[in-house]
Amino acid sequence: MTLSTASSDPADHAAPILVKDRYFKPLLSKEAIAQRLAHLGKRIEADYQNDLPLFIGVLNGSFVFAADLVRYIAIPCHFSFVKYASYQDKMQSSGVVQELIGLNENLSNRRVVVIEDIVDTGNTMVKILAYLREKGVEDVEIAALLVKPTALQHDISVKYVGFEIENQFVVGYGLDYDGYGRNLDSLYVVSDL
């Protein structure tokens, strides 16, 4: 689903909010997110019947998305988290990605779905995919709440996309601005106000 900042979502007409020292305007309501997640969950469920998939959430940003998404998936599954650091400015990723916390699970011959908050340049995802393939997974797909197609610098295929957005900084629903805003229950985009 492609989204422009001129979305018809009713949340768009709400007032901007202040997160730390910047204003953000509503981009996606919690209802719109929930509706999309229900759809993605059903697709994943259908694709992994009898496969005992391993879902891997990428901390920190995916903790809300991953928790909500897996509750729309009613098949047996395993779940784990990995944490990577992408050294970044408050609003820009630097392109340097370093592993912080790996996985304890035996990954050989597992069908894996990586659950990521947002694919921006794709640097983080390239690193994670390489790590998982090195560990011998049978196959790996990506579920991303948000994708910024114009920012993508790698040939990555995101099978389960929540929303495609413009190349603008977003916050809320697990995503932060300098540590703030992860607890917002919907998504906001930086505003020029």
User: Is 93 an interacting residue with respect to ligand 5GP (CB under 6 A)?
Assistant: yes
Cα separation of 171 and 44, whole Å?
26
Tell me how far, at minimum, the Cβ of 75 lies from ligand 5GP, in Å. Answer: 26
Q: What is the DSSP letter of 12?
A: G
Q: Catalytic residue numbers?
A: 120
User: Is 191 an interacting residue with respect to ligand 5GP (CB under 6 A)?
Assistant: no
User: Is 27 an interacting residue with respect to ligand 5GP (CB under 6 A)?
Assistant: no
Tell me how far, at minimum, the Cβ of 146 lies from ligand 5GP, in Å. Answer: 7
How large is the C-alpha radius of gyration of the chain? 16
Tell me how far, at minimum, the Cβ of 123 lies from ligand 5GP, in Å. Answer: 4
Cα separation of 151 and 170, whole Å?
14
Q: Print the binding letters for residues 63-92 with ligand 5GP: x by CB under 6 A, - otherwise.
A: -----------------------x------
CA neighbor of 62 nearest in space, from 128, 2, 136: 128
Judged by CB under 6 A, the chain residues 129 through 168 that form the site for ligand 5GP are none
CA dist list (Å): 51 to 77, 95, 109: 8, 34, 11
The encoded tokens of residue 152 equal 């993508």
User: Is 117 an interacting residue with respect to ligand 5GP (CB under 6 A)?
Assistant: yes
